């Protein structure tokens, strides 16, 4: 997008923002320290796509996984996703409505069980018994019909859609995007979406290359850059000017 500012043409624009995070050591069954990368889009509803290769518990009925969803505010991001027979998927807040302790993933005969004071909930969040008086908050799910389920988080002001952006075992994130000749591209990293930053981060042009570039000219073709996040989570924006 080209914006007019003070009568001057400001050609600097955001090409793309992605969110990265190191998710879920332990509880969700994917390897500790694994980098997840998602694309941030303008919009009101965040959509988090869970591929079954990353969450194999969801390949079968009664499979259940507890995780923190990257890019979602911490008040909403701790969820339990459960698959029930007939391709029914449920996503609910993991926080017990009694005193906020995390419930366990679904187990037959136990439901979603809170170990603190033994409240129990159905996979869809409905309270069954225990000191908790109300049901768990639930989120809409969208089954792909094959190998993934999406979870919707409404009213966030932005959306996050998982996108295939490679995260290397060495901890780098690969950014791939189309470029225009005559334009310069740089990358910025922020802790939250609202942070204002103007300092470009250094990137490499190959996975094993030196992280010493701060901008690069577009070629008219596909560009691949690699950055090394210094924190566990944050937002990466590709700038074009
Ligand atoms: S916090 Fe869950 S039952 Fe008390």
What confidence category does residue 185 fall into, taking pLDDT thresholds of 50, 70 and 90? confident
Would you state the structure tokens that stand for residue 33, as one six-digit string? 């320290």
Q: Choose between 47 and 167: higher pLDDT.
A: 47
Give per-residue pLDDT as tens, 71-118.
Answer: 667 778 889 999 999 999 999 999 999 999 999 999 999 999 999 999
Ligand 1 geometric centre to CA of 100 (Å): 7
Q: Return the pLDDT at 31.
A: 38
- If you average pLDDT over residues 5-22, what whole number do you get? 49
Region 44-156: CATH code? 2.102.10.10
Q: Return the pLDDT at 156.
A: 64
Q: Which atom of ligand 1 is nearest to the CA of 99?
A: 1
pLDDT over threshold 80, residue 217: yes
Give CA–CA dist 121/106, Å, rounded: 9
Q: Which atom of ligand 1 is nearest to the CA of 103?
A: 2
Cβ neighbourhood burial of 236 (10 Å; 0-12, 13-18, 19+): buried
**Using a 6 Å CB cutoff, which residues line ligand 1?**
96, 98-99, 101, 114, 116-117, 119, 130-132
CB 120 within 8 A of CB 128: yes
What confidence category does residue 39 fall into, taking pLDDT thresholds of 50, 70 and 90? low
Question: What are the phi and psi torsion angles at 207 (to 5°)?
Answer: -60, -35
Residues 6+ apart with CB under 8 A from 185: 15, 177, 179, 215, 216, 217, 218, 223, 225, 238, 239, 240
Instruction: Name the residue ranges covered by the structural domains of the chain.
Output: 3-17+166-240, 44-156
Return the residue whose CA atom lies nearest to atom 1 of ligand 1: 99
Give CA–CA dist 78/55, Å, rounded: 15
Give CA–CA dist 203/239, Å, rounded: 13
3-class DSSP state of 121: strand
pLDDT over threshold 80, residue 129: yes
């Amino acid at each position: 997008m080209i914006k007019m500012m003070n009568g001057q043409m400001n050609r600097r624009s955001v090409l793309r923002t992605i969110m990265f995070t190191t998710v879920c050591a332990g509880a969700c069954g994917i390897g500790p320290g694994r980098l997840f990368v998602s694309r941030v889009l303008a919009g009101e509803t965040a959509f988090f796509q869970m591929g079954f290769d990353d969450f194999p518990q969801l390949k079968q009925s009664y499979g259940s996984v507890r995780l923190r969803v990257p890019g979602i505010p911490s008040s909403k991001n701790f969820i339990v996703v459960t698959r029930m027979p007939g391709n029914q998927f449920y996503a609910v807040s993991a926080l017990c409505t009694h005193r906020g302790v995390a419930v366990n993933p679904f187990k037959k005969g136990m439901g979603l069980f809170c170990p603190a004071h033994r409240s129990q909930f159905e996979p869809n969040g409905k309270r069954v018994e225990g000191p908790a008086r109300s049901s768990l908050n639930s989120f809409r799910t969208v089954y792909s019909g094959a190998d993934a389920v999406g979870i919707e988080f409404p009213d966030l002001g932005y959306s996050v859609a998982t996108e295939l952006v490679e995260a290397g075992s060495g901890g780098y994130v690969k950014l791939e995007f189309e470029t225009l000749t005559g334009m310069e591209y740089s990358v910025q990293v922020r802790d939250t979406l609202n942070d204002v930053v103007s300092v470009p981060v250094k990137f490499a042009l190959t996975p094993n290359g030196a992280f010493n570039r701060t901008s690069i000219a577009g070629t008219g073709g596909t560009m691949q850059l690699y950055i090394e996040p210094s924190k566990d989570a944050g937002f990466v924006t590709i700038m074009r000017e």
